[in-house]
């Protein structure tokens, strides 16, 4: 007796679905159902991808305005406060045993500002990151620096020459430990700002491609309907096309405006801020070295033993300051930002002239006369330095306002796009279904 023939294996779910779709596609109602489902899926996918990419771009733009740039600015202020504290400490030491109250207050304010900003930065930074490590270094070294300054002051009040050694050691620690760590922190936060800016300006290619595909599908469906029924309008498909077109235009225009504003914030804001911060830091370093030239009285030489180290460092700082101011002048795009830079350039020239006069007086053996020309009131290098610092502060404030305005406008161009994408996609999908449903009702 022959063995029984086994029954044929049942088709899989996918095969069964494919057969049903093939059978449905042989009739006009079946084809319409497939077209309606495909259109709804296209519109929903367009909305979903747009909502995802728009939310991502908005988050990056919001990071530029609310997190990255403020942290970068705080890092720059930490550096500036530390450099200014070092300058104030040297100025107070030169004034003698009775340090002027305003100089002491300036030093205390700088240290307090640096400490406060370090705490703020630590709360927004991963301790294992490069920024976190630099913050830890600064928190560790700052108390040591202030301790050395207090020892220098105590010895200076007693008229002991050891005070000058403590001050030079404190300056060395500031130059080799604190300021390099602060500079690395500033560079890390500025790099994070650049990454956020690049992410916010990135074109949403996937969203745009899905939008074009959805629009093309809806246009094809309406043309097909017109050719088969000779009806110009299908209200449902027209509503779906209008919603998809509105979303596509919103996406393209919003991203274009956001890119333009964020690019302006980077080119005319952040670059200018960086150059101006560099200028201000170099002015502070130059002032500290100018003061230390009189404190050390030639006791500290360059590695070749031929020149006064602090005088050499002063000259280097002033050259870098002039270079930075020239770049800041080039980047200034209006009179509000250019005038303070012009004032700073004029004050730097005046500072150089007065420093040359003070240096000549010191070399002639008139130390007290040189001291008066450096830390005195009228016609002193200190007055020129204060003018430079004030002008740079005004320029920084102007560029900060420009950056904030442009970056906020860029973020504003993306506001609501993610939510709007979801709403318009829902309207489009419902319109497509209703439009096809209208055609299907004609076959009942």
- The stretch 109-114 carries a mean pLDDT of 94
List the single range of 24-28, 126-130, 249-253, 372-376 with lowest mean pLDDT.
24-28
d(CA 160, CA 166): 11
Are 337 and 353 within 8 A, CB to CB?
no
Residue-wise burial string across 308-322, b where 16 or more C-beta atoms lie within 10 A, e elsewhere? bbbbebbbebbebbb
Q: What is the pLDDT of residues 155-182, one digit of tens each?
A: 888 887 788 888 888 888 988 899 899 9
pLDDT of residue 420: 92
Q: What is the pLDDT of residues 407-435, one digit of tens each?
A: 999 999 999 999 999 999 999 888 888 87
SS3 (DSSP) at 308: strand
- The stretch 266-272 carries a mean pLDDT of 82
- The stretch 189-211 carries a mean pLDDT of 90
**21 pLDDT more than 70:** no
**14 pLDDT more than 90:** no
- The stretch 267-275 carries a mean pLDDT of 84
- What DSSP letter does each residue of 120-170 carry, written as one string? HHHHTS-TTSHHHHHHHHHHHHHHHHHHHHHHHHHHHHTT-THHHHHHHHH
- The stretch 143-147 carries a mean pLDDT of 93
SS3 (DSSP) at 301: strand
Q: What is the pLDDT of residues 339-370, one digit of tens each?
A: 999 999 999 999 999 999 998 998 888 888 88
SS3 (DSSP) at 253: helix
Which of 95, 84, 83 is closest to 163 using CA atoms? Answer: 95
pTM of the predicted protein model:
0.77
**7 pLDDT more than 60:** no
d(CA 433, CA 426): 11
Alpha helices in 158-234 (DSSP H): 162-173, 179-201, 205-229
Residue-wise burial string across 406-416, b where 16 or more C-beta atoms lie within 10 A, e elsewhere? bbbbbbbbbee
Cα atoms in the Cβ-side hemisphere of radius 13 Å centred on 361: 17
Which of 84, 102, 141 is closest to 118 using CA atoms? Answer: 141
What backbone torsions phi and psi does residue 173 show, to the nearest 5 degrees? Answer: -65, -40
CA dihedral 170, 176, 179, 181 (to 10 degrees): -130
Number of H helices, E strands in the chain: 15, 0
Are 175 and 286 within 8 A, CB to CB?
no
Residue 133, Ramachandran bin (φ over 0: left; ψ between -120 and 50: alpha; else beta): alpha
Long-range contacts of 367-370 (CB under 8 A, 24+ apart): 367/294, 367/297, 370/294
**240 pLDDT more than 80:** yes
d(CA 82, CA 141): 12
């Amino acid at each position: 007796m022959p063995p029984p023939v086994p029954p044929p294996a049942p088709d899989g779910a996918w095969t069964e679905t494919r057969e049903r779709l093939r059978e449905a596609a042989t009739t006009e109602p079946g084809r319409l159902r497939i077209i309606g489902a495909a259109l709804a899926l296209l519109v929903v996918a367009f909305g979903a991808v747009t909502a995802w990419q728009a939310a991502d771009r908005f988050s990056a733009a919001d990071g530029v305005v609310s997190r990255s740039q403020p942290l970068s600015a705080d890092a720059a202020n930490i550096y500036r406060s530390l450099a200014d504290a070092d300058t104030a400490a040297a100025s107070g030491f030169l004034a003698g045993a009775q340090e002027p109250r305003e100089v002491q207050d300036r030093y205390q304010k700088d240290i307090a500002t640096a400490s406060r900003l370090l705490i703020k930065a630590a709360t927004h930074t991963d301790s294992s990151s490069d920024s976190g490590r630099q913050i830890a270094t600064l928190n560790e070294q700052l108390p040591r620096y202030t301790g050395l300054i207090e020892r220098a002051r105590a010895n200076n009040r007693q008229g002991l020459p050891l005070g000058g050694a403590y001050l030079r050691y404190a300056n060395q620690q500031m130059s080799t430990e604190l300021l390099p760590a602060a500079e690395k922190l500033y560079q890390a936060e500025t790099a994070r700002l650049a990454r956020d800016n690049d992410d916010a300006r990135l074109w949403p290619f996937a969203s745009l491609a899905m939008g074009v595909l959805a629009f093309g599908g809806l246009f094809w469906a309406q043309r097909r309907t017109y050719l088969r029924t000779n009806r110009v309008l299908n209200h449902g498909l027209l509503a779906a096309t209008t919603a998809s077109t509105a979303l596509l235009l919103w996406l393209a225009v919003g991203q274009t405006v956001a890119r333009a504003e964020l690019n302006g914030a980077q080119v005319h804001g952040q670059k200018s801020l960086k150059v101006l911060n560099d200028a201000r830091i170099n002015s502070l370093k130059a002032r500290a070295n100018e003061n230390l030239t009189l404190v050390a009285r030639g006791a500290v030489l360059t590695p070749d033993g031929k020149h006064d180290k602090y005088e050499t460092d002063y000259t280097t700082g002033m050259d870098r300051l002039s270079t930075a101011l020239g770049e800041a002048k080039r980047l200034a795009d209006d009179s509000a930002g250019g005038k303070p830079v012009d004032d700073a350039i004029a004050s730097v020239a005046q500072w150089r002239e007065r420093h040359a006069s003070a240096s000549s007086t010191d070399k002639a053996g008139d130390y007290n006369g040189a001291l008066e020309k450096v830390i005195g009131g009228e016609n002193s290098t200190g007055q020129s330095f204060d003018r430079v610092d004030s002008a740079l502060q005004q320029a920084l404030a102007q560029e900060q306002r420009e950056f904030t305005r442009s970056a906020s406008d860029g973020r504003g161009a993306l506001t609501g796009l993610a939510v709007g994408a979801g709403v318009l996609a829902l309207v489009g999908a419902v319109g497509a279904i209703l439009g096809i449903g209208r055609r299907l009702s004609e076959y009942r």
